[in-house]
Amino acid sequence: MLPLRIESQYFGSIKYIQQIALARDTIIDVHEPFKKMSYRNRTTIVSANGPLLLSVPLQSGRDQKTPMNEVKICYQQNWASKHIKTLSSCYKRSPFFEYYEDPIIALLQTEYTYLIELNMAILGWLSKVLKTDFNVLQTNTNLKYLDPNYNDVRDTSNTLKSIQNVANQDYPQVFMDKQPFIPNTSVLDLLFCMGPASNIYLKDSTL
């Protein structure tokens, strides 16, 4: 089985985390150019009004072509506090929010210089709470755009096909009394709603 080659995501989508959880070996491509309008610095959560994007602001803006491992987080605006307040507003009614709240606050209040540092810290935390070994390494050199030595799944975890697949595996979301199930959101939505059972959900190969 070829190692998985995947991009770095901020609180990755359910499909993204499942790809890593089921892979034998995963390599995060940290030398690829940053791609705007991707999930490298943003994530989708569920609000009372539907899907809501949370974005990490970057120095030099989102249009840069800087290698991913050189992309710096901008702290001129207090985005971390806004993310914490938004998560609380959206998920304080969820059954497991209080269980995960403090470590998430700690992650967001740590001022990492680089986006990749924050994203890798999040992956490390997710590996612990999901009780799943993420066999994840980072690239140590530039790879070919198409490299036959890897199973390249970059930017496939948030496609329409991925969303349709995950839509077949509903779980109870916070606002299902107001709106239909919203699939393939941030793994945070799954954790807040399902808690320890998230591990079982992610290992369902039919997703």
- What is the block-wise mean pLDDT of the chain (207 residues), using blocks of 10 residues? 92 94 92 92 96 94 80 94 98 97 97 97 96 90 80 85 66 92 95 94 72
Residue type for position 156: T
Q: How many CA atoms lie within 13 A of 91 on its CB side?
A: 30
pLDDT of residue 207: 54
d(CA 39, CA 51): 14
pTM to 2 decimal places? 0.92
Q: Is the dihedral of CA 192, 174, 111, 19 positive or negative?
A: positive
Q: Is the dihedral of CA 190, 191, 194, 198 positive or negative?
A: positive
d(CA 15, CA 22): 10
Residue type for position 168: N
pLDDT of residue 206: 59
pLDDT of residue 112: 97
Structure tokens belonging to residue 29: 């491509």
